[in-house]
Amino acid sequence: MFDLLFFTSLTIFLLGLAYRFSTWFTRKIGLSGPPIRTRQRVRAAFSGVVRLVWGRQLLTVLKTLLGDILLQQRVLKEDFKRWLAHMLIFCGFVLLLLMHALEPVVSERLFRDYYSTLNPFFFLRDFGGAMVLAGVALAALRRYILKPPRLQTNRRDHYAIALLAVIMLSGFALEGLKITSYSEFQRMLEDYAGLDDEDEIQALESVWINDYGLVSPNLKGPFDEDLLTEGREVHFLNCADCHSSNRWAFTGFAVAKIMQPVAIALDRAGGLTLLWYIHILACFAGLAYLPFSKMFHILATPVSLITNQVTAPGRSSPANSLTRRIMELDACTHCGSCSLHCSAGMIFTARGNDYILPSEKITMLHKLAAGKKLDDRQLQAVREGVYLCTNCDRCTVRCPSGIRLKELWYSVREELLRSGPPLAPILTPYSFVRGLVMQDSLGADEYARPIAQARQAVAGQFTILMNPDRALPLNAPPAADRPPSAGEQTFARCFSCQSCTAVCPVVGNYENPEQVLGLLPHQIMCCLGLGLVAMASGARMIWDCLTCYKCQEDCPQQVEVCDLLFRLKNEAVARKALTRTTPPR
Amino acid sequence: MKFALFLGCNIPARVSQYAEAAQAVSQKLDIELVDLPAFNCCGYPARNTDHRAFILSAAKNLALAAKAGLDMMVLCKCCYGTLKRAEHLLNADSSLQTEVNRILAKENLQYGGRVQVKHWLSVLYHDVGIESVKRKIAQTYNGLRIAVSYGCHALRPSPITRFDDPVAPKIFDELVEVTGAYSVDWARKLDCCGAPLTGINDRLAMDMAHKKITSAREAGAHFLCTACPYSQLQFDRVQHRMTLNSDNAEPLAPILHPQLLGLCLGFDAKTLGLSQNQLDLSRITSFLMSE
């Protein structure tokens, strides 16, 4: 039964790994020019690895292995408590894996006199377990109680913590029950001690009850000191050679103490078998689930960290860049560092769109790369999230997994801009970096089309002016949903001196400014005075405004011309429903 | 003298030499700069489409500085103007302030309007003082002609930014002339560099940059001088692209103010990150002469 379960989960694990690794070469995300076949990607990655081995970068790899992967410096740089939790889980788990889980393969072959019940192994197993448990407790504390700003916890995080917790808790419960178990005591007595003398057995039993946490249905303390002395002698002669004191298994011993009142009942009810099954099944489930869980980062993150160190940004071939992007999606541990430090943190708070946060973008891109289909609303939310980024690169600098998020965003942003309706933020300085950095690597048309589409979407149709028979609806009531804020009514002071238009460098840049810009600044103020807000917010002028504030500075009436244009841009975007209206949290 | 250093988003990612040079110079001038890692975007890009996101972003920064008990020194003029605008709106509208504070309270922050927001140039001019700067100068420029670009968002709207006289500003000129360089008088000194429309209307943005560069060149400037990452990137990287795409004359390279001053204070080109600028600045050291 054990073997069947083990080999089944091992097979799932291995097939899962093979599948997950293969996706690095088959899935696609972001912009990568002409289509690249899987074979090309494998070949490019392979030659990259060969170059790495032949080149002088092995030292860098070793340094990364030691510093970033084994000692986890990058996590330490983020937060000591997080590093501690991760190190406890990492070291404890490796210890348990080698010593305990792989007992027949590692411990028994390495040490001739190995007994799991003998120190130092007896103590170390417990120590490793306690480390993992403490680490899991710290991780749970951070995720569920302390909750750093913008840390999102999803299903995969819950599963990982729960699975580890079940494995560790069932292990300790099993150990604790074993310590108290009378049936286990009898089994060991028969298998190892081979005692016949009833008195000796009674003395030994008394010692195990008194000193080692055994709970017996026959005997109860306090015991006579002479009896205990005799029992210790018997223990020393028959048991001590292959069984250290149960107190060395400090956590299990503590659990045994807690279990004492129900120990006999549990033992009789077959609690040992039950706990053993829970423990083993949880471990096997963990093994089979690993390639599909966030625990896959155990393999993907080191690859990401090494790749980060040995490749220069922007130098990789398109094939390797694509492979790398997919691999990096697997390397994300959803730790939340990026979102904690995200410069757009308050923009997220204002808009309530999860995909503004880098950690949530990554999670969604992972799903998209796996072929998930989104409905229009979700897709638009993702597109907006990817665009509402201030390009400060902090996520890339901070990521403990060495993911070059910046490059991921650049590439994915362009891909997403090509699908779906226009995005308003493209008409704002969010686009500065796109214009500065991305423009050269894009075709002129690819670059300009999303901007033109957004302009088109916010442009007014001026239909009201096309029909000379229709009267203009003047003095329309102001929008009631929002009280006017400081300076917003200042257009009322405008007496059409046209100073704003005269000093505007945008107007001055064109021979026929009205043709290019639709309405000029003073005309926009005039529209506002007439209550024609929609008309004013349809003018191209507002999006070509450099926000240099010359108009406002020079206005003899202190009309806040430039700030009113800002307001109109807000209006236009809201009016054309180019904005998701999620209520803020 | 102690300030919370506000870098914004562009400087750490694309103009890190500005921060490095400013930090070196600050140390020399006994300005202590504190890094508050929780600072976020000033709100500038959000202003066009999402007023709320703009106000919240700005208010959080102001509240963070208040919590640290520090005034802010801002290197970017667009960040400066945005923070000043948000401050103005919050102070003028108590209901807005209440709403913002309700949200900030979740992060144990509160906006109270006590923090002073100052630009790098204002700190040097008003808090350190020209005379103090002068005393630290180890070597001056000789015959160097500089065209200072004031930067719209610091200068205007002047009732809110309170940076300098909007018509005849002088603090940038004086902070350049303290190095021995001559601050040329040029027609487009107070004009827009075009950066706000880079990525949105690149043609117009480049027209603006081109007009300024031509005007500075006509005034005989050897270099432009900026104190804003947006202007710097516009004159550096965008101008580089412009010269690549035309058979135009030599570019007119921009230098960041702390780089210009730093050379006179005895820092080497490496500390000031001169080579991180895209357009070549190496010629500038030939104007230096020892005292």
Summarised one tens digit per residue, pLDDT across range B101-131 is 999 999 999 999 999 999 999 999 999 999 9
- Which site among B7, B9, B104, B243 would you substitute to test the A interface, given the most A Cβ atoms closer than 10 Å to its Cβ? B9
What pLDDT shows up at residue A535?
87
Q: Reply yes or no on whether the pLDDT at B141 is more than 60.
A: yes
Question: For B185-201, how does the pLDDT look when each residue is reduced to its tens digit (9 = 90+)?
Answer: 999 999 999 999 999 99
Residue A261, Cβ density class (10 Å: 0-12 exposed, 13-18 middle, ≥19 buried): exposed
In a domain, A304, yes or no: no
The whole-angstrom distance between A436's CA and the closest CA on chain B is 7
- Residues of chain B positioned with their CB less than 8 A from the CB of A483: 95
- Domain span at residue A89 reads 2-177+286-297
The end-to-end CA distance of chain B, in Å, is 28
**Which residues 126-165 of A have a C-beta within 8 angstroms of B?**
149
- Residues of chain A positioned with their CB less than 8 A from the CB of B78: 429
In a domain, A118, yes or no: yes
With contact defined as beta carbons under 8 Å apart, do B150 and B189 qualify?
Answer: yes
In a domain, A310, yes or no: no
* Cα dist from A237 to A233, A242, B256, whole Å: 6, 11, 83
Residue A512, Cβ density class (10 Å: 0-12 exposed, 13-18 middle, ≥19 buried): exposed
Six-digit token pair at A106? 């590692």
The residue type found at A399 is: C
Q: In terms of domains, do A162 and A231 share one?
A: no
Q: What is the CATH number of the domain that holds A488?
A: 1.10.1060.10
Q: Residue A77, Cβ neighbours under 10 Å: how many?
A: 12
B62-101 in b/e form (b: 16+ CB < 10 A) is: bbbbbbeebbbbbbbbbbbbbbbbbbbbbeebeebbeebb
Report CA torsion sign: A41, A42, A45, A51.
Answer: negative
- Residues of chain A positioned with their CB less than 8 A from the CB of B18: none
Helix (H, G, I), strand (E, B) or coil at B74: strand
In a domain, A542, yes or no: yes
Q: In terms of domains, do A268 and A359 share one?
A: no
Q: In terms of domains, do A125 and A183 share one?
A: no
In a domain, A325, yes or no: no
In a domain, A157, yes or no: yes
A493: left (phi over 0), alpha (psi -120 to 50) or beta: alpha
Q: Which residues contact A170 (CB under 8 A, 6 or more apart)?
A: A275, A278, A279, A282
What pLDDT shows up at residue A583?
41
* Cα dist from A397 to A294, A341, A406, whole Å: 22, 10, 9
Six-digit token pair at A193? 């001690």
How many domains is chain A partitioned into structurally? Answer: 4
Length of chain A: 585
**Is any Cβ of chain B less than 8 angstroms from the Cβ of A441?**
no
What pLDDT shows up at residue B238?
96
CB contact under 8 A, B53 and A346: yes
Q: Mean pLDDT over residues B53-81, rounded?
A: 98
Q: In terms of domains, do A259 and A344 share one?
A: no
Helix (H, G, I), strand (E, B) or coil at B56: helix
Closest Cβ–Cβ partner in A434, A562, A584 for B199: A434
CB contact under 8 A, A573 and B49: yes
A428: left (phi over 0), alpha (psi -120 to 50) or beta: beta
Give dist(CA A11, CA A287) in Å, integer: 10
Q: Which of A425, A458, A491 is the last residue of a domain?
A: A458
Give dist(CA A363, CA A454) in Å, integer: 27
Question: What domains lie within chain B, and their CATH numbers?
Answer: 2-119 (1.20.1050.140), 136-290 (3.40.50.11810)
The residue whose two tokens read 């079940």 is A166
Q: In terms of domains, do A24 and A135 share one?
A: yes
**Is any Cβ of chain B less than 8 angstroms from the Cβ of A573?**
yes
Q: Residue B219, Cβ neighbours under 10 Å: how many?
A: 16
**Which residues 327-366 of A have a C-beta within 8 angstroms of B?**
341-347, 349-351
With contact defined as beta carbons under 8 Å apart, do B199 and B248 qualify?
Answer: no
Q: In terms of domains, do A270 and A209 share one?
A: yes
In a domain, A30, yes or no: yes
Chain A: residue whose CA lies nearest to B14: A392
- How many interface pairs between A and B have CB atoms less than 8 angstroms apart? 176
How do strand B288-290 and strand B139-141 relate by DSSP bridges? antiparallel
Give dist(CA B228, CA B22) in Å, integer: 12
The whole-angstrom distance between B45's CA and the closest CA on chain A is 5
Q: In terms of domains, do A162 and A201 share one?
A: no
CB contact under 8 A, B93 and A485: yes
Q: In terms of domains, do A267 and A414 share one?
A: no
The whole-angstrom distance between B263's CA and the closest CA on chain A is 28
Q: Reply yes or no on whether the pLDDT at B264 is more than 90.
A: yes
Sheet hosting strand B32-35, strand order edge to edge: B32-35, B2-6, B71-74, B117-119
Q: Residue A246, Cβ neighbours under 10 Å: how many?
A: 22
Six-digit token pair at A465? 């002016």
What pLDDT shows up at residue A323?
94
Series of mean pLDDT values for 10-residue runs along chain A (585 residues): 92 97 95 87 92 84 94 95 97 95 90 87 94 97 94 96 96 96 92 86 92 90 90 90 91 94 93 96 96 96 94 85 95 96 96 95 95 90 94 96 95 90 92 94 92 90 73 59 68 95 97 95 93 88 97 96 94 70 42
With contact defined as beta carbons under 8 Å apart, do A86 and A72 qualify?
Answer: yes
Q: Residue A63, Cβ neighbours under 10 Å: how many?
A: 14
pTM of the model: 0.93
Q: Which of A458, A478, A497 is the last residue of a domain?
A: A458
Rg, Å, chain B Cα set: 19
Give dist(CA A51, CA A332) in Å, integer: 26
Closest Cβ–Cβ partner in B12, B158, B199 for A436: B199
Q: In terms of domains, do A441 and A499 share one?
A: no
What pLDDT shows up at residue B246?
80
Six-digit token pair at B211? 């007009």
The whole-angstrom distance between B239's CA and the closest CA on chain A is 11
Question: For A223-270, how does the pLDDT look when each residue is reduced to its tens digit (9 = 90+)?
Answer: 889 999 999 999 998 898 889 999 999 999 999 999 999 999 999 999
Q: Which of A253, A269, A297 is the last residue of a domain?
A: A297
Residue B226: strand pairing partners = B256
3-state secondary structure A318-349: HHHHHHHHHHHHHHCCCCCHHHHHCCCHHHHH
Give dist(CA A467, CA B266) in Å, integer: 70
- Residues of chain A positioned with their CB less than 8 A from the CB of B82: none
* Cα dist from A530 to A293, A478, A551, A567, whole Å: 61, 11, 20, 16
Q: In terms of domains, do A453 and A500 share one?
A: no
With contact defined as beta carbons under 8 Å apart, do A362 and A329 qualify?
Answer: yes
Q: In terms of domains, do A112 and A55 share one?
A: yes
What pLDDT shows up at residue B207?
96
Helix (H, G, I), strand (E, B) or coil at B223: strand
Which runs of consecutive H residues, i.e. helices, occur in chain B?
10-14, 16-28, 51-68, 77-92, 94-104, 120-122, 130-136, 152-155, 158-161, 171-177, 202-218, 229-233, 239-244, 257-264
Chain A: residue whose CA lies nearest to B239: A436
Q: What are phi and psi of B6, to 5 degrees?
A: -105, 115
Six-digit token pair at A562? 């430039």
The residue type found at A482 is: R
The whole-angstrom distance between B34's CA and the closest CA on chain A is 17
In a domain, A127, yes or no: yes
The end-to-end CA distance of chain A, in Å, is 51
Q: In terms of domains, do A118 and A187 share one?
A: no
Closest Cβ–Cβ partner in B12, B60, B238 for A436: B238
What pLDDT shows up at residue B248?
62
Chain B: residue whose CA lies nearest to A572: B49
